[in-house]
Amino acid sequence: MISITSYLYHDTLKDIIRRWMYGQVWPSDAAAIGRIINYNTVFLARCLPDFCSRLFALLHETPVYARPSRRKADLKDVLVSHCPYWNQRLEQMISQYRYEPGRFYRETPFNGTLYLLGAADDAMVVGSSRIKRVRRLAEKTARRIIDAVFASIKSRADLLAQDRADRIGVPRGALITPQDQMVAEFQKAESRLLDDLKMGRPILTNEKLVIQDVAGAKVIVPDEQRAALLAKIEHMEHCELVEVEEHRGNYNAVNLIVRYRPDREALVAKPPGARLFHVMQARGLRPEEIHADFQRFVLEAEAAVHIEVIVCNYQEMMESEIGRCMHEDRIQQQRTNQQYTGQLARNIEFLIAYLFAFASSSHTELNELPMRLWDRYLPDYFDEVFMGLYDVHRMGPLE
């Protein structure tokens, strides 16, 4: 169904998502979800800094130091404060940001790290890294599946239109279809797909959905140094460059997907922090079991994960944080421009959100799913399910 390639055991997670879409839950899913989501969160929090320390050491002769960041304001402020060169566009962006900083989503949560050169009080940012938050990952996973489902329904509706054109003996392009008939054909195609889900028949058989950017780094380099950087990354130890994609338009950058094989023994040597202990204890593990269980999880998994590396110059970094293609604006556009927003789309959003939220709850059993994709629900029901997941219940009427 969909592979999250920055995660260990991504094939297991893919299979769980696929089965849940058909309403099939296994008794082992509750424990598997808790381990996959929670342990990968800790693993990536160790793996990504390890990768970035190697990457930035490769790019800079002088030491680069890392500073954790929990809000986007940290990154935006340091970009604006230490401009390596000036032109009219940069002056315009910086002036707008300083005049009205509240317009630039400064409070956006950012599970990230800034990489800086120079003295601590006068440092220049040369890159950043971030791990996509679980809520955003659930949202993106659902959106990818919804887009694929929409394309499948549309393809089925097109086949119905083609069949109608064949019956009346006209080319498909010459077929004139009233709006209400197009809607009816789409609804009929949607109904058939829902029947396929309900009866366990395969859907999206040709789709290979992939999310490769859960763990990512952004590197700021002048354009003339980009080719040399790519060559260095290709020869990084324990790394394999598997994809290069250049973006041109509102945002100009090169996206790389790197397959990274970290030293797993070193990454799991230290016990996890208190937060993981709290979550996994609530899920039924004894404190003395958690570190060993985390070690088994990592050491028995696949050897490599995918990390996204975005390569851009300083001005394009500015455009992505406070300019014409500001990241937060793009998120808003994705949410508002989704083509397919019917009941099935809402059900998929809820199902994926529930899967990721279940991992952080104290529930250790899952005998059945709280919904089926082919049924209809009001949003109020979803609210009740999530509150129940965290043992929060609405107050009854006052007596």
- Give me the pLDDT at residue 119, please: 67
Residue 383 DSSP SS3: helix
- Give me the pLDDT at residue 398, please: 47
- Give the side-chain half-sphere CA count within 13 A for 96: 14
Query: Could you give phi then psi for residue 207, rounded to 5 degrees?
Result: -90, 130
- Summarize the confidence of residues 125-137 as an average pLDDT: 94
Tens digits of per-residue pLDDT, 209-229? Answer: 999 999 999 999 999 999 998
Rounded-to-integer distance, Cα 312 and Cα 102, Å: 25
Tens digits of per-residue pLDDT, 40-82? Answer: 999 999 999 999 999 999 888 888 999 999 999 999 999 999 8
**pTM given for the model:** 0.91
Rounded-to-integer distance, Cα 177 and Cα 181, Å: 6
Q: How distant is the alpha carbon of residue 189 from its chain centre?
A: 29
